Structure 1
Amino acid sequence: MKPTTRRTLAAVITGVAAAVGAAATPAAAVDTVPVPVPLDGVEKSLNVELPKLGGEIPLPMPGAPEGPQYVEGRLLPERVIPQLPVSGGLPGAGLHAPLPHLLGDDFDHVGVGAPASDLRTLAPGLSVDAPLTAPNADNFGLPEPKLPQVGVLTPVLQTVPAANLVAGPGL
């Protein structure tokens, strides 16, 4: 293959890879999926101005769990069943409703918006220790009995929800 043909082929492959990467990036960067509620048909059939309604559904993203942690003096690792982190969000909603103006024919609006907010969770985990100690040199290398230990790692839920109330002219 000639060097010019190789360069042309490399340029075409690079261009295709860049186009595919650019097309895939916006879809991967989306945190929520908008959900509009279509009320246009009802507005036209009843000849009435209806509220604008929509929502947002977050996409949960599982994370990598922290593996077992080995601790000196224990036969089993500290986290036998690790906690699984999941990040996502609370669903959002938006409503803009017409409000009749008291002195004229124009409409004002009142709106309520609750945007999707971040949510971080950790699933419950389990920590167990065996009923034997580590090998003891004073006891000819044999482990000694002890009380078994079981611990439940509590789940975690962190979020900061918000809401907006708006009133003004127009819809």
Structure 2
Amino acid sequence: MKSTTRGTLAAVVTGIAATVGTAGPAVAAGTVPVPVPLGGVSTALDMEVPHLAAELPLVKPGAPDGPRYVTGRLLPDRALPQLPVSGGLPGLDARSPLPHVLGDGFDHVGVDAPASDLRALAPGLSVDAPLTAPRADNFGLPQAQLPEAGVLAPVLQTVTDANLTTGPGL
């Protein structure tokens, strides 16, 4: 193997290892931090600027409950099952300077809303055929019945939390 090929292969393996190494903690935490760098603006304008940071949740699909077979029906219950999805609502950490009316110092106003868990179920469908199952009292033939269709409503579950703060300094 040539030395250039070996060097290229080593660079690719190093890049993959670095990518996998940084993705691990974010997946374990369930959120990806997103800082907004405003330090350069603060230096260029020579003034206090807001501090912004966010957390974006990672969406994880779950395994759907399969169709349930019910005696006396031709079609299974929940023909289109609901898909569970877990993730979260995005988080926000923002602090903005608020100048004193009577003085030189700065106060701040801040909002801290951490990312919160969110569980959801997609809508599903439950239908029944216009025929019953074969019946022994009808010589093994099905009988006619009214067709049934139902939509399983989507479900959202979450608990949110946020803090509004004021105080001295940034």
In the other structure, the counterpart of 2:127 is 128
1:51 is aligned to: 50
Point out where structure 2 has 5 or more consecutive residues left out of the alignment. 1-19
Q: In structure 2, the residue corresponding to 1:29 is in which secondary structure?
A: helix
Distance in 2 (CA, whole Å) between partners of 1:98 and 1:159 is 31
How many angstroms does 1:136 deviate by? Answer: 0.8
Displacement over 2 Å in runs of 4+: 99-108
State yes or no: 1:144 paired with 2:143.
Answer: yes
Alpha-carbon separation, structure 2, partners of 1:49 and 1:27: 30
Q: CA offset at residue 110 of structure 1?
A: 1.7
Identity fraction in percent? 71
Instruction: Answer whether contact 2:131 2:143 (CA < 8 A) is retained.
Output: yes
**Deviation string, structure 1 residues 98-156 (Cα, Å, up to 9, x no partner):** 22244543322221112111111111101111111111111111111111111111111
Output the CA distance in 1 between the equivalents of 2:107 and 2:136: 84
SS at match of 2:29: coil
RMSD: 1.9
Unaligned regions of 5+ residues in structure 1, if any? 1-19
Match in the other structure for 1:84 = 83
Change (3 A) 1:88 1:80: same
Query: How many residues in Structure 1 have an aligned counterpart in Structure 2?
Result: 150
Deviation at 1:27? Answer: 4.2
What's the TM-score, normalizing by structure 1?
0.81
Q: Which residue of 2 aligns with 1:112?
A: 111
The verdict on how the C-alpha distance between 1:39 and 1:115 changes in structure 2, with shifts beyond 3 A counting, is same
Amino acid of the residue matched to residue 78 of structure 1? Answer: D
Which amino acid letter does the alignment assign opposite residue 154 of structure 2? Answer: P
Asked if 1:155 corresponds to 2:154, the answer is: yes
Change (3 A) 1:45 1:27: closer
User: Contact 2:27 / 2:58 at 8 angstroms: preserved in 1?
Assistant: no
Q: Is the 8 A contact 2:80 2:126 kept in 1?
A: yes
**Residues 153-162 or 39-48, more deviating:** 153-162
